[in-house]
Amino acid sequence: MNDTSHLRGPAADFTHVSQWVFDLDNTLYPPEDALFSQIEVRMTDYVMQALNVPRHEANHLRQHYWRTYGTTLAGLMDEHGVDPAPYLTHVHEISLDHMQEDLELSNRIKSLPGRKIVYTNGTAPYAERVLAARGLSGLFDAVYGVEHANFRPKPERRAFEAVFTRDGIAPEKAAMFEDDPRNLQAPHEMGMRTIHVAPVAERAEHIHHHTDDLSGFLSRILDANH
């Protein structure tokens, strides 16, 4: 496994943390589960229908809006006035039958001291379904989706501020786990400890730690704090 710390080790970096913020997709389940391969097909279908364009153009726009706005939805809202609610319902109607529960990860999240939340660019109901499929239901004090940030996406700072204000997160006491490096910039600026969870590390000033094994990384934090 590949764990790198850009600053100090877990013992120094997490003893002050009492609020733990987890992204959902490709963070609380392995990328091999490939939920986005299903979601992206449904996104492209929706763009085709909403904008009346052929599939190749819809697929291009889906990717363009994700790169430009942070999510495809944000681009559709800002450029075409698309209603977010039907879109979000449509794109998240996917199968989770292939996902497996992770008892080890569940136990380590449960053992973290303090408040634990999930914050995703998906919806809270979708997140609850994924958590159930992973055996992680009931571990978190709250689950927030893009609807709780007025449909603005990570990486926008105002999206983080909306959710963190709603939950009472104090960034100087918090850590953020996230697979998309872009989505760690604002948390870093706000004073949070940042952890990039992904198969390949990305070196950046706003990323304090990288891991390709979330459960193992949490184990090291817990060991350091006991």
Domain ranges of the chain: 3-29+100-224, 35-91
Collapse the DSSP code of 156 into the 3-class scheme (helix H, G, I; strand E, B; otherwise coil) and give the result: coil
Helices (H) and strands (E) in the chain, counts: 10, 7
Q: Is there a contact between 175 and 195 (Cβ–Cβ < 8 Å)?
A: yes
Residue of 59, 133, 147 whose CA lies nearest to 102? 133
Handedness of CA 219, 35, 117, 10 (dihedral sign): positive
pTM beyond 0.85, yes or no:
yes
* Alpha helices, DSSP H, located in the chain: 10-13, 35-51, 55-69, 72-80, 84-91, 103-111, 124-133, 157-167, 185-190, 214-224
Q: In the prediction, which pLDDT does 3 show?
A: 47
Q: Is there a contact between 197 and 179 (Cβ–Cβ < 8 Å)?
A: yes
Q: In the prediction, which pLDDT does 6 show?
A: 43
Q: In the prediction, which pLDDT does 49 show?
A: 96
* Alpha helices, DSSP H, located in 92-192: 103-111, 124-133, 157-167, 185-190
Going by the DSSP 8-state scheme, the letter that residue 149 receives in this structure is: G
Q: In the prediction, which pLDDT does 13 show?
A: 84
**Residue whose entry in the numeric block shows the structure tokens 């943390």:** 17
Q: In the prediction, which pLDDT does 221 show?
A: 92
Q: Which helix (H) or strand (E) holds 173?
A: none
Structurally, what CATH architecture does the domain formed by 3-29+100-224 represent?
3-Layer(aba) Sandwich (3.40)
Residue of 1, 106, 96 whose CA lies nearest to 39? 96
Q: Which CATH entry fits the domain spanning 35-91: 3.40.50.150, 1.20.1440.230, 3.40.50.720, 1.10.150.450?
A: 1.10.150.450
Summarised one tens digit per residue, pLDDT across range 35-84 is 999 999 999 999 999 999 999 999 999 999 999 998 999 999 999 999 99
CA gyration radius, the chain = 17
Query: What's phi and psi for 144, nearest 5 deg?
Result: -115, 140
- The residue ranges of the chain whose pLDDT is under 50 are 1-8
Residues sharing a CB contact under 8 Å with residue 139, sequence separation 6 or more, in sequence order: 106, 109, 110, 116, 131
